[in-house]
Structure 1
């Protein structure tokens, strides 16, 4: 099975794969998502209908609709809107003589990085209700869900040492022996992990710090502002909790080597 959101992608898939089953990926923007993937991915309704109309002539095997509501999405209403749009597209496909048998609801279920994120059970209960509603309308539709971040975020805590303190900065700047370029990459998009002291004689008195990584890059900021013990010192350990998603995996995440370098004479 392949997901595509452009005519050229579909042509590549049908050229390179034997009898591929193709999902049309539709846009599903959400202001409540930390990462709005629909800025880059997902067809508009008009373009989706264009592809469905063309698929009959081209004999493209369109079997499914998919969307991704955006990573770390906290608003259940965004799923409802995307599901509504997907169902309408499935009905449109049926009117054109195309049987869509699969619907992928994507990912987006949030991990509990902050107190304002509701527990996983809240989202599962409400998405289950949405699935039941879909089943009443389309009982033979195969449904998929990809809750990656919500499943793996709490599987890892990242421990990092303080290797430098710059007290003259406002707020004081802590430098850690990790970096946005060594696993904590989502901080580049202003995504912040829970950051705690590790109990190394923590003072009850706390103050705000900025926390950066070890690289020479000014963008290497892990937390813009976090409350930590005032007596913190070089060599102390900090804990980045809920660090199981999109951290260590980035070492091989895209599975593509850097471009080769050629000497041109």
Structure 2
């Protein structure tokens, strides 16, 4: 737990600042600002560093190390940055294009049935499309987390094909592991956050104080949930993919340290 708190206090403070800024801009200056994508960066950064913490130990897990040198021990270059951007873009398109095709197909079907598109209908359409894409691409989705573990370890030679080969036959197991990690805390987080919202409304608490309290709890539970799932994925990586000698120096079964 000390290492968990060491790694979340920075992203948690930034999370709350983003949400407070969002509320101030919307309420005081009538400026629409959505900080969701910024929060995604915080959660992604925490997940990657927590992989390092779980598999390598605290000496190898820090945001400074991630920003300054990455996790391969190589200095930052535009070429490496460009490759990372291309890799992220390809993965995004691989999921976005099928989602758009399915959405268009469902919209054409609804239109042929004479359905009038309202905001609620569009939201339902987005939910159904997301569910279908997640279901169809579940074999890929559950393996992306293991590929991320390889990235966090600095495994530049580990390709997605190798991850796929070594986890063949474990799709259902990996999905079940992820669901068991996410679902209980997700339900708990939703209920507790909703309850706090209601209390703040009844007590007429100032919106800034209300945002700080609610978002602090939301961020904490989000990072806690990520920590559980990442730890499970990291252990699955260790068992299915395998760690090299010295990859996990703080564990008894890690093997001799590498030079």
TM-score above 0.5, yes or no: no
Q: Which has the higher contact order (CA 8 A, sep 6+)?
A: 2
Structure number with bigger Rg: 1
The structure that is strand-richer by fraction is 1
TM-score by length of 1: 0.21
The structure that is helix-richer by fraction is 2
